[in-house]
Amino acid sequence: MRLLALLLTLLLVPSLTARAQPDSPEALVVIGEGVASLGDDPAGAEENALWDAKRNAVERACGVFLKSTATGRNFELSSDEIRTRSEGFIRRWEKVAGSQTVETVGNSKVLRLKIRATVALLPVLKRLEQIQDAFNDLERPRLYISVKEGEESLRHLVTQSLLAEGFLIADAPESAALQVVVKVESVPLLLFGDEKAPFGLGDSVATCKARLSVQLHSLAAEESLLALSAEGVGRSYQSDKEARESAVEEAVAAFQKSQLKLLTHPLLVRWAMERQEGIIVAVEALGLPEEGRDALKQAISEQRGFREIVGETAQKESYIVRFSTRLSVRDVRRRLAEFRHPRFTLLISEGRGATVRCVASPRPRPSKTAKLSQGLRSQH
């Protein structure tokens, strides 16, 4: 019925029939047009025009989705439906050949182009493969599983669950985009060998209850994204330790069965929107003098794709600035490597993840001999 309603809408709206075609019941192929001021940076103008075209493509496609739903329900939409149905993302796109032109508007020139985009709805995201292009564009972000010391078996269980969903796991937090903090609390229900247990059950069995809590954190933005939990009960005819291990395994199994999808969907939505709207990147500079902080922020704000500064933290030996950008972390690293200041240099550390770490070191002062030679050259 939904697809039929969508086709009826396309017939009723001639202005869209040539530009919107169904790719699937939950996706459309649309033509989006973008415009940007040309200025002195043609490459930057093309990038801005592409972002404008992508945004217009999403708005156009979601407008068709809304009209489709309204047609199927006597043109009545709830506010919740409008909110969720208007959340779309570009699954894949390509520039329309021959569409890029330069036009003169008043005293300035603008660049105009078109893209052909497949737009899908965020609420239908269930698998990582549905946002594969966006995932690759974000440099395949990894998750770091954080557990309490001595809980390596728990890390292994959760890691296997996430790997089964297609996620990539980082070996260290420095190379991860997000951190999954996993904690477990256990309460013995029946201790092995407990003489006070009813009916003498303690002589032969031990039981334990475990509660698993999973929290998702953004390392760059320093924010908690969501929290989930699951419980399990285990038993053993050998020891209390074995009963606890069984309870933890049951809690992880319960998490995988009923809670994992609640973790997967927000992650997919976040990555889809980050590729579309921009990601949060943190630059941590060690040894950066106070006078260099404004210079660093200025250099960041002048990067192509920069959107806004979202926060900063200043301590005695370190300075962290967080900002939103449409660049990949790799491109941010490359542009920071080009940063120049007369009094210090920035050494960018290698790695991956949404935090770029660097060390500031003073530039060596010229010796008296070098100053004298420079002075003599200037006289000639």
89: β partners: 120
> CA-to-CA distance for 363 and 200, rounded, in angstroms?
77
Q: Do 39 and 118 reside in the same domain of the chain?
A: yes
- Whether 84 is covered by a domain: the verdict is yes
Q: Do 269 and 312 reside in the same domain of the chain?
A: no
Could you tell me the residue range of the domain that residue 117 belongs to? 2-124
Q: Do 251 and 290 reside in the same domain of the chain?
A: no
Q: Are the beta carbons of 208 and 252 closer than 8 angstroms?
A: no
Residue 294, Ramachandran bin (φ over 0: left; ψ between -120 and 50: alpha; else beta): alpha
Place of tokens 């904690």: 183
The last residue of a domain, from among 258, 275, 292: 275
What are the pLDDT tens digits along the chain (380 aa)? 444 343 333 333 333 333 445 455 567 888 999 999 887 788 888 988 988 898 888 888 776 544 444 444 443 434 444 344 447 888 888 999 999 999 988 888 899 999 999 888 887 788 888 888 888 878 889 999 999 988 898 999 999 999 998 999 999 988 898 999 999 999 998 888 777 777 666 677 899 999 999 999 988 878 888 999 999 999 998 999 999 999 999 999 999 998 998 899 888 888 888 887 888 999 999 998 888 899 999 999 988 889 899 999 998 889 999 999 988 888 899 889 888 888 888 899 877 788 899 998 887 765 555 445 555 455 54
Q: What is the CA radius of gyration of the chain?
A: 28
Instruction: List, in order, residues 6 or more apart from 364 with CB less than 8 Å away.
Output: none
Q: Do 24 and 119 reside in the same domain of the chain?
A: yes
Q: Do 151 and 241 reside in the same domain of the chain?
A: yes
| Number of domains comprising the chain | 3
- Whether 377 is covered by a domain: the verdict is no
Q: Do 283 and 267 reside in the same domain of the chain?
A: no
- Whether 258 is covered by a domain: the verdict is yes
- The CATH number assigned to the domain holding 41 equals 3.30.110
pTM over 0.85: no
Instruction: List, in order, residues 6 or more apart from 280 with CB less than 8 Å away.
Output: 218, 220, 221, 274, 310, 322, 323, 324, 354
